[in-house]
Structure 1
């Protein structure tokens, strides 16, 4: 689904591609199964001009903007980042029709995990900790 996420269609679970950690129900938001770092945007976008002298410094105001970073609890791989107003819940950035996705792969007659190319000599189990027999 992304560089660091896949859906195990048999179990209907979000899974980290790096360590194989289960992140939750694939019919829901994978972000619910992650660790979240609520960042002050000034840590990322530091003021260009002196905040002691100027009200507007070209740095996002933390009263209006937060940066949420989502990490895998199993391996600490950063899975996603989003800019939201303070107190806003994590957004739902992916909704998949799991039944249609499963039917598509069954029609192809291919296991989605083995159909992914990781590079010369690389094994899918090394990347996911998971393989179908």
Structure 2
């Protein structure tokens, strides 16, 4: 069976171990049947740092209000590669945007041997 399957630019799934992995350094992150973000280093960024004013005009500059929006970044704990980022309202739980049928992937790659 093919052990690792490329899922995103920086994420693989190791089907033998059923683990999310960083495909840059091979760091095992978290159980593949769960949210890989639980195995990442997480940083919440200051919106003023990320989105400086677009103009010098103080009457028209816009920076997202951190009281309404936060930027959360997810990094590989092995190599520091940013794996994902998301904008969320304060208090909103982290999203679980990738949910795969691991059993179907295992069957697909077992049949390709």
TM-score by length of 1: 0.74
- Write the mapping of 1:1-133 to structure 2, written as runs, cut at 5 A: 1-49=7-55, 54=59, 57-109=61-113
Alignment root-mean-square deviation, CA: 1.6
**Which has more radius of gyration?**
1
Question: Alignment length, in residue pairs?
Answer: 107
Give structure 1 stretches of 5+ with no counterpart. 110-133
Question: Residue deviations 1:35-67, cap 9 Å, x none?
Answer: 01101122111123569x54x732110000110
- Distance in 1 (CA, whole Å) between partners of 2:91 and 2:25 is 30
Task: Please identify which structure carries the higher strand content.
Answer: 2
Structure 2 equivalent of residue 129 of structure 1:
none
Residues 83 and 101 of structure 1, relative CA distance in 2, 3 Å threshold = same
Aligned with 1:48: secondary structure? coil
Structure 2 equivalent of residue 130 of structure 1:
none
Q: Decide which moves more: 41-50 or 16-25.
A: 41-50
